[in-house]
Structure 1
Amino acid sequence: MTHNILACDVGLKRIGLATLTQGIILPLTPIIRSNRNQAAKELTNVLKERDIHILVVGMPSGGEAAHSDMQKRISHFIALLDFEGEMCFVNEDYTSSNALESLSYMKRQNRAKAQKDGRIDSLSACEILQRYMQSHNI
C-alpha cells in the first residue's frame, strides 16, 4: 500500500513543502507565513487536498539555545494542525545549507530570489523527505 507523504521545513517566514509522487521527491509551492494560524490553516488544507497519510517534519537536533527555541516553536506550530495521520520528526540539520548549495549553479541574485520566495525552503523539505525515506528504507 502506498502512503501519501508530505515533508515540511517549518520556518518563521516560510514553510517549505515536498511530496513523494510515484517514487520521486518533488518540491511544492511553499507557504508564506503571515501568522502561525494562517500558516497552520494553509498546511492543514494541503494535507487534506493531497490526502496525506504521513507528515514528516524537519526538527533541529537541539543542543544550542536557538535550536531548543526553534524546537518549541515547531512543536507548537505542528500542534495547531488538524491532522489525524502519522507524524514523524526528522533531523533537519544542514538541510537549508545543502539546499542552497544545490543552487550554486545559479547567479547570486537568482539564489537570493529563491531564498526569498521560499524555493530554498521547499528544497530543504525535499532533503528532509529524503532523510525520512533513507531511515525507513523506502
Structure 2
Amino acid sequence: MKKLSALGLDIGLRRIGVAGCDGLGLIATELTTIERSSFNDDVVKFKEIIEQREVTILVVGVPYNREGEIGFQAKQVMKYAQRLAHHLQLELEFVDERFTSVEAEEQLRSSKKYSRQNKGLIDKRAAAIILQLWLDGR
C-alpha cells in the first residue's frame, strides 16, 4: 500500500486550521493553527510542515452556502487554496465543509476542551473533520 500524506485545511480570514493523516490514510489528526499574515509568510510556514510530513496533497474545506452554492467566501477560499497549492507544488482537492466548525465546537464541548478564547482549537478540529471526510470518501 502506498503511503499517503495529506494536509487538511480549514481556511479562515485570520487563521488556518491544519490537520494531517497517518501514512495509511485512515485517521486525520489535528496538527496546528496558522495565524495568517502575508501570503509569503503563510507559504514559509506551510513549507516547514510539508517537508516534515512529506505532504503530497492539500485537502481544503469549501464553505458552500446553505443552498450548496459557491458564494463570495467560498470563492475567496478556493482562490487562496489554488494559489497556495501552486506555490507549494502540491495537488489540491476540495471538500464541502458546511457545518464542520459547528461539529468541531460540539466535539470540543463534549470533550471539555472548548474555550471561547481559543478559536484555534476549533479551526484545527474543523481541519481534521474536513480531512477525515476526504479520507472516508476515498
Q: TM-score by structure 1 length?
A: 0.82
In structure 1, stretches of 5+ residues that fail to align are: none
How far the C-alpha of 1:134 sits from its partner, in A, is 1.5
Equivalent residue runs for 1:71-82 within 5 Å: 71-81=74-84, 82=87
What is the identity percentage for the equivalent residue pairs of Structure 1 and Structure 2?
Answer: 32
Partner of 2:9: 8
CA contact (8 A) 2:82 2:92 kept: no
Equivalent residue runs for 1:37-56 within 5 Å: 37-56=40-59
How far the C-alpha of 1:75 sits from its partner, in A, is 2.0
1:99 to 83, 101, 104: 104
Moved more, 68-77 or 38-47: 38-47
How far the C-alpha of 1:63 sits from its partner, in A, is 6.2
Number of aligned residue pairs: 131
CA contact (8 A) 2:9 2:130 kept: yes
CA contact (8 A) 1:18 1:27 kept: yes
Query: Does residue 106 of structure 2 align to residue 113 of structure 1?
Result: no
How far the C-alpha of 1:26 sits from its partner, in A, is 1.3
Equivalent residue runs for 1:10-29 within 5 Å: 10-22=11-23, 23-29=26-32
| 3-state secondary structure, aligned to 1:40 | helix
How far the C-alpha of 1:69 sits from its partner, in A, is 1.2
**Root mean square deviation, CA, Å:** 2.2
| 3-state secondary structure, aligned to 2:37 | coil
The residue type equivalent to 2:104 in the other structure is A
2:95 to 84, 90, 93: 90
| 3-state secondary structure, aligned to 1:89 | strand
Q: TM-score by structure 2 length?
A: 0.82
Determine the C-alpha separation between the residues in 2 that align with 1:3 and 1:17.
16
The residue type equivalent to 2:91 in the other structure is E
| 3-state secondary structure, aligned to 1:112 | coil
How far the C-alpha of 1:13 sits from its partner, in A, is 0.8
In structure 2, stretches of 5+ residues that fail to align are: none
How far the C-alpha of 1:51 sits from its partner, in A, is 1.3
CA contact (8 A) 1:61 1:93 kept: yes
Runs of 4+, deviation exceeding 4 Å:
none
| 3-state secondary structure, aligned to 1:102 | helix
